[in-house]
Chains A and B, each alone.
Chain A
Amino acid sequence: MRRCLIIDDDADNADFVARGLRELGWAVTVCHDALDAVGRAVDQTWDVIILDRMLPNEVDGLLMLKTLRAIGRRTPVLILSALSSTDERVRGLKAGCDDYLTKPFAFSELAARIEALMRRTQPEEGARELRVADMKVDLIARRVERSGRVIPLQPREFRLLAYLLVHQGRTVTRTMLLEAVWDYRFDPQTNVIDVHISRLRNKIDKDAAIPLIHTVRGVGYTLSADGPQRASTR
């Protein structure tokens, strides 16, 4: 079972996140006290730590994060904060966090980002070729085959597919796609991503026996041979 430590002085918010993660099969520990949190973060092993910027007793979560990194802990840390300016985000990343999410947030977004963090921390297989069902993707040659038929893709479409593929079986949100595939760090709020996905779908899943790209309603997309799983809840 994967273990998550939530450090947040807002009990309601922490419980909301904890409940959601438990439903997804996580073992969650909630910690409201900064000192207690430091002890737990250092003494125990966690798969991910969710950290609020503002901790009780005027402790800045960043200080704690820096301490953790200074003693060599590589545990993935996702910062949850109401401080949304670019400056604050950059400070968070500099302090060593792996992702930064601003409050208020949708739980689905948080869940998807945690999944992505898990993926990132797993050792890269250095895989050259990925397979899902009857699709074969050569990451180096940028070649996509489905049932032996080569599907020509534009470079950006390939990046989109590759990102979905690397995170297969997990939900990725539109914001994550915008950041990873187009390098956009803001949300245009229109359905730009949706049309890209539908175009990609047209090329990949058209005439195929099993559709690979699935919409996760209200959250984003997932690539999977087994259809959309209950990857996350609101």
Chain B
Amino acid sequence: MTGPISRWWSSIAFRQALIYGTLVVFTMIVLLIIIYEQTVGTWQRRIDRQLETTTQRLLEYYDKSGAAALAPHIEGLLGDGIDSDTEVYTLIAADGRKLAGNLTVTPDITTPTASIAERFVQRAGRPSHSRLRVTRLRDGALLIVGRDMQDQLELDALVRHASLWGAVVTVLMAVSGALLFRRQLERRIAAIRRTAVEIERGDLAQRVPISSQEDEFARLSRDINAMLDRIHGLMEGVRHVSNTIAHNIRTPLSRILARLYTAQGASDPSAALPAAVETAITEIQDLNVVFEKLLRIAEVESGARRQTFSAVSLNAVAMNALELYDALAEAKGLALTHSLDGDPTTAGDGDLLANAVANLIDNAIKYTPSGGRVHLETHREGASVSITVYDNGRGIPEDELERVGARFYRLDRAIPGWGLGLASVRAIARLHGGTLQLLDAQPGLLARLVLPALSDS
């Protein structure tokens, strides 16, 4: 099924609005029924009560003054000019003779009724729709008290008419409201969809325009934009990484090629080749190391190793690292000291944490001049444990603290390295749900690996 109806129906906004409109119409109908009942119904009941009391009064009069006095009394009531266009009184004798009153006698009205009934009668010679109370008197005569309902009928018709129009208008408004609501909603969603299409086409810089109203859509748009910012940032990161990787791989590759070509083209290649081959081997081995480190970081970042986490004692990690680096520190004339807290334990990968700590100590030793000090400290505080490496070396300038730890970022190109150490420490920290803090130790650097403590349970 196609066409506008099915198209509208496929819109959730239209459906919602229509359902809501239907509810409004239904409410209106209930409301009109109540109003009708309260106005027309109440009036009718009041008329009925009046008829009862009038009948009662006339019966009392009949008891007191006798049958003969009733006919003139009724004539008097009809002639008093009060309610003369609506009142109905008729007294019919037992033999069917009309004694007094303004109704034309028809067989229809001569049967007494238990309650008030509505009849078509001839009142003062004109057809009338009246409510009648017919009472048989003791002498067999019939007393008819009634009221012409013409005005009541008119009111009734008026209310029905108004209700009908009201209902029609309500339905129309509900439908047009649904359409309007649908258009409104679709306009807001269209803005988001347009942005999505643009992004799909490759323009990742597009953002959802945020309307001035602080409504649900504005909030949704803001959330979507925040998500896009994050994706954009990640893409930029990936691009940056691929660029730096390309740079860091191509540079040594072109160096190797240049050396080999030079050796090949030398006047005596056999003399030049061994040295060129030697450097080529070293460079390729270095490249291999870079690859290995990058793969390791990628592996850590993938989070796959989280599956084999177990309890790791930071003190054991620290002691092992100290025993590995004490000789190097000693050879460089550095004091490698430590202070260990109770037993800080975390859930993690022992090899990776050892790798991270070794990296931090390695850095500290590298950047601290002879005579300096490198201090290792473990600590447990509340829900987190930490392992800190202090040094009193040259430290990292404040404005560089942010950038170190990015892949291939190197502070000092004179010191050998690949610029991947802190990047891998950061990745390892993230894998463990922790952070790597780099602070100015004044002088020197404070590198702290903060990790969630393993709960004692």
Contact = CB atoms under 8 A, between A and B. Distances in A.
Contact of A87 (B292, B304, B325): B304
Contacts of B296: 186
B328 interface: yes
B305 A182 contact: no
A123 interface: no
Which interface residue of B295, B327, B330 has the most chain A CB atoms within 10 A?
A: B327
A192 B305 contact: no
B295 A198 contact: no
Given A185-B351, A192-B325, A86 B320 contact: no
B324 interface: yes
A210 interface: no
Given A87-B304, A189-B289, A184 B327 contact: no
A69 interface: no
Interface string A103-145: 0101000000000000000000000000000000000000000
Interface residues of B, number: 26
Contact of B328 (A186, A187, A190): A190
Which interface residue of B320, B328, B351 has the most chain A CB atoms within 10 A?
A: B328
Interface string B277-306: 000010011001100100110010000110
A188 B358 contact: yes
A209 interface: no
A1 interface: no
Interface in B310-332: 320, 323-325, 327-328, 330-331
B355 interface: yes
Contacts of A102: 292
Contacts of A186: 296, 351, 355, 358
B101 to A, nearest CB: 111
B245 interface: no
B362 A195 contact: no
A192 B304 contact: no
Given A104-B288, A182-B320, A183-B320, A192 B327 contact: yes
A215 B367 CA distance: 28
Nearest to A157: B327
Interface string A84-95: 111100000000
Contact of B295 (A84, A187, A195, A196): A84
A183 B295 CA distance: 21
Contacts of B441: none
Interface string A221-234: 00000000000001
A72 to B, nearest CB: 29
Contacts of A195: 327-328, 330-331
Contacts of B358: 184, 186, 188
A84 B292 contact: yes
Contacts of A189: 289
Contacts of A85: 295, 299, 304
B351 A182 contact: no
B112 to A, nearest CB: 104
A22 interface: no
A156 B327 CA distance: 11
Given A156-B323, A184-B324, A192-B324, A198 B331 contact: yes
A234 B351 CA distance: 30
A2 interface: no
Nearest to A185: B351
Interface residues of A, number: 24
A196 B362 contact: no
Contact of A190 (B354, B355, B362): B362
B327 to A, nearest CB: 4
Contacts of B305: 86-87
Interface string B335-355: 000000000000000010011
Contacts of B355: 184, 186
B362 A188 contact: yes
Contacts of B289: 187, 189
A106 B285 contact: yes
A40 interface: no
B18 to A, nearest CB: 56
A187 B366 CA distance: 16
A106 B292 CA distance: 14
A19 interface: no
A199 interface: yes
Nearest to A156: B323
A185 B350 CA distance: 10
A86 B323 contact: no
Nearest to B287: A104
Nearest to B307: A87
A147 interface: no
A191 interface: yes
A182 B292 contact: no
Which interface residue of A102, A156, A186 has the most chain B CB atoms within 10 A?
A: A186
B288 A199 contact: no
Nearest to B350: A183
B315 to A, nearest CB: 15
Nearest to A106: B285
B354 to A, nearest CB: 6
Nearest to B418: A189
A182 B323 contact: yes
Interface in A158-196: 182-192, 195-196
A182 B324 contact: yes
A184 B322 CA distance: 13
A234 B281 CA distance: 10
Given A85-B304, A195-B331, 15 more contacts: A84-B292, A86-B305, A106-B285, A156-B323, A182-B324, A184-B324, A184-B351, A184-B354, A188-B358, A190-B362, A190-B366, A192-B325, A195-B327, A196-B324, A198-B327
Interface of B: 281, 284-285, 288-289, 292, 295-296, 299, 304-305, 320, 323-325, 327-328, 330-331, 351, 354-355, 358-359, 362, 366
8 contacts: A86-B299, A104-B288, A156-B323, A182-B324, A184-B320, A188-B362, A189-B289, A198-B331
> Closest 3 CB pairs between A and B?
A195-B327, A195-B331, A196-B327
